[in-house]
């Protein structure tokens, strides 16, 4: 699964991705081709398990991040949504808007403004138009098909599509519409843009960062989406921070009053928005964080490790990370009653430590 970075040109998307990937700073993205990087997801829990077990290696979970070329000014002097841009956006499982909120004359905003709310509304409006156009055409086609052959499947689909059309016609993104699992499954193949899970990262500079909290509060109120994840960050500061040695990083963070790297929070949020979680395996050879979808069963999680583990699954030895860190050993976890055996239907929790028994 992958998450797409979406934004206007000169928003800081590419610098953000390069910093996450540990790539040296380069010129702003001038290519029309999107760029994909596989990024390690930081996890303090995995670091702690590695310290305890002292294995030969540690393997972090990863996430695929897609940098979609930023929207530019066209020949008529306006920023326009292109077909190639929309296609790049559609190919992602979730979206992360990267929004600019800093002044820099050397890298001008394509619309010659610094207004983070307006930039968000521009993207949301364009994506709503795209969805609305698709839904309108789909309704027309379904009505014609129903006249030719009266199938319950087509009638049910029409009901869902009309509900979505009404919602988007009221200028509301589909992610805010109450849809059940069957509805979502039906819509999944259509790649509707406003149905995709969304988070937002707003790129501040050193001067504007002090206003981040109030700006984000205003944006959530205006959008009417209080649960929307909006993360303040500074691409330039995070890049400079990433080039320092660990001890110098701590001094740098203290100087700027930074409690935690925003990059870590951005990656965790991307993981969350994609509906992913981690379970751990530990031992002398390696400690590893495995990526699974939420609500995966123990048998499905076993299959992520190896297909044979799925087919030959017997039981899973389970202890949650929090319980393990309390007792620091499996034997003491057993004595405390927090180590247990679970069957194939057990729903794996984020942070479970698993050992798969198989035939």
Segment 99-153, tens digit of pLDDT? 999 999 899 999 989 999 999 999 999 999 999 999 999 999 999 999 988 889 9
Q: What is the pLDDT of residue 26?
A: 55
Q: What is the pLDDT of residue 224?
A: 84
Q: What is the pLDDT of residue 38?
A: 93
Same fold, 2-112+196-273 and 295-358: no
Q: What is the pLDDT of residue 28?
A: 45
For the chain, helix, strand, coil in percent to 5 are 45, 20, 30
Q: What residues contact 254, with CB distance under 8 A and at least 6 apart?
A: none
**Distance between CA atoms of 280 and 331, rounded to whole angstroms?**
18
How many CB atoms sit inside 10 A of residue 322's CB? 11
How many CB atoms sit inside 10 A of residue 58's CB? 17
Give the distance, in angstroms, between the CA of residue 33 and the centroid of all CA atoms in the same chain.
21
pLDDT tens digits, 172-183? 999 999 999 999
Q: What is the pLDDT of residue 174?
A: 95
CATH of 125-194, one of 1.10.150.300, 3.40.50.2300, 3.40.80.10, 3.40.190.10: 1.10.150.300
Q: What is the pLDDT of residue 258?
A: 78
Strands (E) in the chain, as ranges, are 2-6, 35-40, 57-59, 62-67, 94-101, 198-204, 229-233, 276-281, 286-293, 313-320, 340-342, 352-358
For the chain, the structural domain boundaries read 2-112+196-273, 125-194, 295-358
Q: What is the pLDDT of residue 81?
A: 83
Residue 341 backbone phi and psi in degrees, to 5: -105, 135
CATH topology of domain 2-112+196-273: Rossmann fold (3.40.50)
Q: What is the pLDDT of residue 259?
A: 78
- Which residue in 167, 171, 170, 199 sits closest to 183, CA to CA? 167
Residue with tokens 């306006």: 78
CATH topology of domain 295-358: Ubiquitin-like (UB roll) (3.10.20)
Question: How, if at all, do strands 340-342 and 313-320 pair?
Answer: antiparallel
Q: Please, what is the end-to-end C-alpha distance for the chain in angstroms?
A: 30
Q: What is the pLDDT of residue 25?
A: 60
Q: Look up residue 312 and give its two tokens.
A: 């030959």
Q: What is the pLDDT of residue 29?
A: 45
Helix (H, G, I), strand (E, B) or coil at 79: strand
pLDDT tens for the 359 residues of the chain, in order: 899 999 999 999 989 998 888 877 654 444 556 789 999 988 999 999 999 999 999 999 999 999 998 888 776 767 878 888 898 899 999 999 999 999 998 999 999 899 999 999 999 999 999 999 999 999 999 999 999 888 899 999 999 999 999 999 999 999 999 999 999 999 999 999 999 999 999 999 988 888 999 999 999 999 888 788 999 999 998 888 888 888 888 888 888 777 778 888 898 899 889 999 999 999 999 999 999 999 999 999 999 999 999 999 999 999 999 999 999 999 999 999 999 999 999 999 999 999 999 99
The string of DSSP letters for 248-272 reads HHHHHHHHHT-SS-HHHHHHHHHHH
Structural contact between residues 40 and 22, judged by C-beta atoms closer than 8 angstroms: no
**Distance between CA atoms of 219 and 212, rounded to whole angstroms?**
11
């Amino acid at each position: 699964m992958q998450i797409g970075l979406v934004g206007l040109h000169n928003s800081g998307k590419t610098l953000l991705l390069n910093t996450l990937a540990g790539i040296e700073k380069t010129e702003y993205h001038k290519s029309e081709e999107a760029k994909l990087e596989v990024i390690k997801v930081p996890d303090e829990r995995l670091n702690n398990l590695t310290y305890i077990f002292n294995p030969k290696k540690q393997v972090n979970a990863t996430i695929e991040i897609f940098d979609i070329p930023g929207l530019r000014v066209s020949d008529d002097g306006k920023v326009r949504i292109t077909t190639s841009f929309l296609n790049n956006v559609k190919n992602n499982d979730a979206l992360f808007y990267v929004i600019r909120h800093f002044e820099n004359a050397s890298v001008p905003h394509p619309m010659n403004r610094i207004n983070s709310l307006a930039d968000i509304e521009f993207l949301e409006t364009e994506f709503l138009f795209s969805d609305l156009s698709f839904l309108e055409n789909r309704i027309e086609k379904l009505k014609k098909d129903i006249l030719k052959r009266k199938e319950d499947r087509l009638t049910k689909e029409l009901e869902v599509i009309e509900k979505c059309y009404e919602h988007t016609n009221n200028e509301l993104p589909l992610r805010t519409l109450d849809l059940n699992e069957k509805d979502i499954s039906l819509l999944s193949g259509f790649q509707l843009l406003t149905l995709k899970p969304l988070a937002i990262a707003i790129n501040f500079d050193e001067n504007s960062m002090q206003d981040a909290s109030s700006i984000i509060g205003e944006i959530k109120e205006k959008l009417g989406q209080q649960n929307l994840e909006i993360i303040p960050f500074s691409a330039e500061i995070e890049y400079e921070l990433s080039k320092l040695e660990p001890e110098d990083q701590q001094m740098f963070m203290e100087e700027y009053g930074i409690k935690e790297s925003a990059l870590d929070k951005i990656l965790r949020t991307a993981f969350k928005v994609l509906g992913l979680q981690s379970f751990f395996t530990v031992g002398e050879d390696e400690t590893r964080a495995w990526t699974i979808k939420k609500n995966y069963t123990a048998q499905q999680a076993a299959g992520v490790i190896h297909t044979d583990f799925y087919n030959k699954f017997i039981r899973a030895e389970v202890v949650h990370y929090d319980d393990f860190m309390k007792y620091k050993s499996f034997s003491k976890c057993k004595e405390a009653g927090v180590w247990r055996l679970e069957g194939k239907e057990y729903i794996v929790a984020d942070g479970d430590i698993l050992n798969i028994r198989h035939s």
